[in-house]
Structure 1
């Protein structure tokens, strides 16, 4: 499917948002289906939250709640907690528990020309706000992140306040890496990222701690087998958005109640069995929707931007959770060739061509093209340890005799003389994602047209 067709399908889907379907007094099965689509992103998000902040013995553990943890390296195939990760920007992470008090995030001042951002994602997977280059420049400062019930006043020294709609949330800091030799500078910048409770920032006594909880264990299998108990548990951290009161009331009629055990004593065995049986078909339905998402311009954003588009939100969480809002980064997914066939490194060799440097992605920060294995949705292990080609690599890319820049997407080497332009693919189905950080207007209004992936003969 080409980019324009995908956008048309997404636009058609947006004409029948859930807010309209919910007014049609759906039957019990429809309510269960809607509840699943609504709750899936929360459960998917909790899978990462658990691995990052609640499983100290796990391979993906970063640190406890409300601590900012950095890694002065880029992602590799060994990083498996987040699907479709980028490998351009070393990450820093924080998982927020905002039940007791806000958290103050401190960003250091950095040099002009280097991109950095703090993406603030609520439990629903909305991009509530950003801190960093686009909105605040590179001057750094202290930023207060509060939960939905906070009614305090920001102390002196706080540049901005961000109120999250949920008490559990995720913060993702991306810091641009120019080249491998730049990694020491990245470590210096990351050392300046800090998080502390508001009481510590002001020097006041801390408030009463939030109640201790028995956090449920989750993994890929439990996401399906324990979906409904997990959804009920998580909804207590996610109050209904202003336009969702009636919708959430409908979910309660089928036994999905925030913070309650599932199934509860009032639920019939027949309904509980129906809800369990629907999990696998609904997962397949969301996966089918992933294929129709097109580029990222309509699938990630604020709660207001995503209002009523619950199936789209679920598919985006399944296909690439924590994707940026389009103002911050535009994502273009390449998963078919010009003959509309799935890209497969075991069958064909492919090329992505730019007629000249003028046709390269228009950005104010940087662009990249990253390779992923379709089955795992993770980076691809390869002999070059190369997972992407980006704008910082332009000086080393070779142009042909016509001035074209050809990027080779294939499993086998195109030959030593062309390996500078080689993005290694698996010997299996794959897809590639092009990211445009701080896209220019011509990328957003579609006057710049991305090239197609072409099969080589």
Structure 2
């Protein structure tokens, strides 16, 4: 079997420093496997799929987004979305109609990479850096219940763990254990004429490796002559590669995982999961040798299918209320909760922390029936039940596949920025239908077939993510 191409062996360097023997050195059944019964292969393949899914998704996403093709960018540069997604947009899943995104992939293997954010002068914006296991390393989220009033100018240096050297003055150091980091900044926009103002904020973002930062620590411009910072044009969506994972067989998936593991160290809490990978013949940077006996091959096939189903199934520790589901305080910081991490990567690649955003979904009405555009619905927020946020909130409808309705005449993310009309008692009725209701106020347009709703709450207050607040049910009229 051909040896898998090796790159900088960051994983093995990390493992040596940690002094932990993470993976057994054989590809056959582990010692004492007989005591596990015949199902050990199925169980360990399933567990390993759940464990490795986020890394494989991120690695395929990085590969799709970096390069010289349209929509791509070289590492350590950003691409800036120039417009809101059109009707019918399918990638990323559940396209955002509230913000313009600037995103890029940072390679910190050789030297630190610095990101400078401008003062947004009161315009809502947030930014986050996600490691290759979908953990949020850093974000602009703040504590407290005060209203968010934009970002202040700041510089962040992403540094591979163990690097020693001097950084520019006032740069905040963030240590990284993976070779790559996905950086995303989002700037609020209402679309139309407001897009130009959001683009000006984008042009103030600077990204460069330390060697390209000038001696005084000032931000350097990147090479794009039109924007002065990164590349214009909509970026490749990070969520698009999910279909590539779905097309992989067990050998293809675990081969991809083995290659990605070599450069992207897991957390120190993960040696048991990595030992299980070794049991089934998956070692960082080496060709995969999955169990191949007749019974074992059947176990691999069954376990692989089981792992896929587990990744797509909402875990039991999601927050739930009135048919809505959302990730609570653990968003972006999963620890050893591999099931939650995998589901979050599957449903919302690069999910922010609970202080940055909470994202609730619902696909059934109060009677448990699938939401469908043939019906009309209402979401009644009492005066004390409005989404508790420090930023803003919105509701958007999508097809069951997470796309914007291709037959819609308008793109609407209805929320508190849209002149929501309250009732006399302070309550709010949000109308959900395929056809515009009489008067057209407080309307969320939906597809004519089945659909789901996503409630986004930017800079949510603690009661959103600790479960003490719940969105109201979607009532069929």
Q: Structure 2 length normalisation: TM-score? A: 0.77
Query: Any unmatched runs of 5+ in structure 1?
Result: 1-23, 205-216
Going from structure 1 to structure 2, the CA distance change for 1:158 and 1:363 (only over 3 Å counts) comes to same
Native 8 Å contact 2:91 2:403 kept in 1: no
| Deviation, structure 1 residue 292 | 7.3
| Correspondence 1:53 to 2:66 | yes
Q: Aligned with 2:307: secondary structure?
A: helix
Native 8 Å contact 1:344 1:427 kept in 2: yes
Query: Any unmatched runs of 5+ in structure 2?
Result: 1-32, 217-239, 319-324
| Deviation, structure 1 residue 202 | 4.7
More off after superposition, 255-264 vs 28-37: 255-264
Residue 285 of structure 1: aligned partner: 310
| Deviation, structure 1 residue 143 | 0.9
| Deviation, structure 1 residue 184 | 1.0
Residue 125 of structure 1: aligned partner: 134
Q: Aligned with 1:407: secondary structure?
A: strand
The one of 98, 102, 113 equivalent to 2:108 is: 98
Superimposed CA distance per residue, residues 183-233 of structure 1 (whole angstroms, 9 cap, x where no aligned partner): 1110110001111011111559xxxxxxxxxxxx96724543321221111
Superimposed CA distance per residue, residues 226-277 of structure 1 (whole angstroms, 9 cap, x where no aligned partner): 212211111112213111123312211211111112238xx54554664355
Residue 379 of structure 2: aligned partner: 352
Native 8 Å contact 2:126 2:151 kept in 1: no
CA–CA distance in structure 1, aligned partners of residues 167 and 244 of structure 2: 45
Report the number of matched residues: 404
Q: Aligned with 2:171: secondary structure?
A: strand
Residue 17 of structure 1: aligned partner: none
| Correspondence 1:260 to 2:301 | no
Native 8 Å contact 2:80 2:202 kept in 1: yes
Residue 30 of structure 1: aligned partner: 43
| Deviation, structure 1 residue 309 | 0.8
Instruction: Write out aligned runs for 1:39-438 (5 A).
Output: 39-54=52-67, 56=69, 61-77=71-87, 79-112=89-122, 114-131=123-140, 138-148=151-161, 150-178=162-190, 180-202=192-214, 220-221=243-244, 223=246, 224-225=248-249, 226-263=252-289, 268=292, 270=294, 271=296, 274-276=299-301, 278-289=303-314, 293=318, 294-298=325-329, 300-302=331-333, 306-346=334-374, 348-356=375-383, 359-374=385-400, 376-393=401-418, 395=419, 397-399=420-422, 404-415=427-438, 417=439, 419-438=440-459
Going from structure 1 to structure 2, the CA distance change for 1:279 and 1:32 (only over 3 Å counts) comes to closer
CA–CA distance in structure 2, aligned partners of residues 371 and 350 of structure 1: 12
Q: Aligned with 1:365: secondary structure?
A: coil
Residue 226 of structure 2: aligned partner: none
Native 8 Å contact 1:263 1:272 kept in 2: no
Q: Structure 1 length normalisation: TM-score? A: 0.80
Superimposed CA distance per residue, residues 297-329 of structure 1 (whole angstroms, 9 cap, x where no aligned partner): 155222xxx122111111111112222111111
Task: State the Cα RMSD in Å.
Answer: 2.9
Q: Aligned with 2:441: secondary structure?
A: helix
Superimposed CA distance per residue, residues 314-358 of structure 1 (whole angstroms, 9 cap, x where no aligned partner): 111111222211111122222221112222224x221112234x5
| Deviation, structure 1 residue 367 | 0.9
| Deviation, structure 1 residue 156 | 2.9
Task: Identify, as 1 or 2, the structure richer in helix.
Answer: 1
Q: Aligned with 2:471: secondary structure?
A: coil
CA–CA distance in structure 2, aligned partners of residues 273 and 445 of structure 1: 42
CA–CA distance in structure 2, aligned partners of residues 355 and 100 of structure 1: 54
